[in-house]
Structure 1
Amino acid sequence: MIVIEQENTADAAAIESLLDIGFGAGRLSKTVYTLRQGPSVPSLSLVARTGFDAKVGASIRFWCCDVKNGDKILPALILGPLVVDPALQGKGLGRTLVARALEEADQEGWDLCLVVGEASYYSPYSFVLAEPYGFELPGPVDQPRFQVRAAPDLLQSLAEKPMLRKVLPWSGRASGVEGAWAASRAA
């Protein structure tokens, strides 16, 4: 039996343990962690519970970030980390969490999402390489793993106006998702 639900504070230790197993202790020094400031977005931070003991078998989290787009700041999400207990990998838990969380993000009005991960894993969710659209993280990243997912009209607009788009920690100044942001924080 598998149940997907929002993570709660009691899940923190189990998630951290899974992250240590999945990514190692050096994970906190990766570039994307500089963007993960403050709490994750509660409405999009999901866990997959397994068995009758409701053990956390997988987790996905999202953080808000800013994208400098000329003189405007676009609100965006950073997907990750996504982690699945090694004993449960290959059973579709990760894909289920990604699909459900992205569906929720779409419903909340998030038009822009970034991820650093395997292109073959994320392309079914409409992620494409970020570099051709000018996105730049605040540190080193393996460019073939840096991807973006955006509403079709936004992606077309970004393609039509080539420029450097720096990804920055969330400032709270971006406009466009105020209601979704407030609702997610109240959850």
Structure 2
Amino acid sequence: MPVTVVEHCIVAPVSGSAAARGYCIVAETPELAPARERLLDRAMGADRKRKSSERLRRGRLPSEGLAFAALDETGRIIGTVRLWDVTAGTDRAGSRVRALLLGPLAVDPSAEGMGVGSELMRAAVSAATAAGHGAIILVGDAPYYARFGFLADLTSTLAMPGPVERSRFLALELKPGHLDGAAGVLVASGRRVAAGRAMRLAA
């Protein structure tokens, strides 16, 4: 069985109580996948696989080392975030611009108010920066993601492969100027899921 690598652990107060709960942000391992999918269904609903972002994730693996989970004191998954390799159009010289697509970020309703989402975001951004990536792109609530430095201005010349609200189409440059001149539609560029594994996931 793969070893779950602990990144860091947090003790968070429980709203309206003197009690506190602990959780750890860890590198996601394959055995967490079924519980992660159930969490996403609970947190995001049945329509989650119809979103434009899903077109860029379908049949792909997350970027190497950039999938994280939050586990409570019992080892139950209470949060998830993953990042995916994409091409963010081309630059002025016609070269493809590599970037990451973040999502979904989801937290179990039982863990709301504990800062799980924020800790997952910080882990993801920190790891992507350390790995040398240039930018992270996402579709999400602008006021929430602004606290991490995401801006809609950085995606004004980019597009998703499907409908998206421009105010929710955001990016964060991990390297200043990485998205300068980038224009075009985002395209998946990550590792593909092996055929056998893809069939098991679809079952």
TM-score range, shorter chain: 0.7 to 0.9
Q: Give 1:40's match in structure 2, choosing from 62, 65, 68.
A: 62
Superposed counterparts of 1:139-150, under 5 Å: 139-150=162-173
**Kindly tell me: are residues 151 and 40 of structure 1, through their superposed partners in 2, closer, same or farther at Cα, counting changes over 3 Å?**
closer
The TM-score, its normalising length taken from structure 1, stands at: 0.83
State the Cα distance separating 1:127 from its structure 2 match: 0.5
Which structure: larger Rg? 2
Q: Which consecutive segments of 4 or more residues in structure 1 shift more than 6 A?
A: none
Identity across aligned pairs (percent)? 28
| In 2, Cα distance between equivalents of 1:46 and 1:152 | 22
Question: Is the 8 Å Cα contact of residues 154 and 172 (structure 2) preserved in structure 1?
Answer: no
In structure 2, the residue matched to 1:184 is none
Is residue 2:78 matched to residue 1:78?
no
Number of matched residues?
167
The TM-score, its normalising length taken from structure 2, stands at: 0.77
**Kindly tell me: are residues 171 and 64 of structure 1, through their superposed partners in 2, closer, same or farther at Cα, counting changes over 3 Å?**
closer
In structure 1, the residue matched to 2:36 is 15
In structure 2, the residue matched to 1:170 is 189
Question: Is the 8 Å Cα contact of residues 62 and 190 (structure 2) preserved in structure 1?
Answer: no
Bigger helix fraction: 1
Q: Give 2:85's match in structure 1, choosing from 64, 72, 79.
A: 64
Question: Is the 8 Å Cα contact of residues 58 and 93 (structure 1) preserved in structure 2?
Answer: yes
State the Cα distance separating 1:166 from its structure 2 match: 1.9
Question: Is the 8 Å Cα contact of residues 84 and 190 (structure 2) preserved in structure 1?
Answer: no
| In 2, Cα distance between equivalents of 1:132 and 1:92 | 27
Question: Is the 8 Å Cα contact of residues 155 and 171 (structure 2) preserved in structure 1?
Answer: no
Show structure 1 runs of 5+ residues with no match.
173-187
Show structure 2 runs of 5+ residues with no match.
1-21, 192-203
Q: CA RMSD in A?
A: 1.8
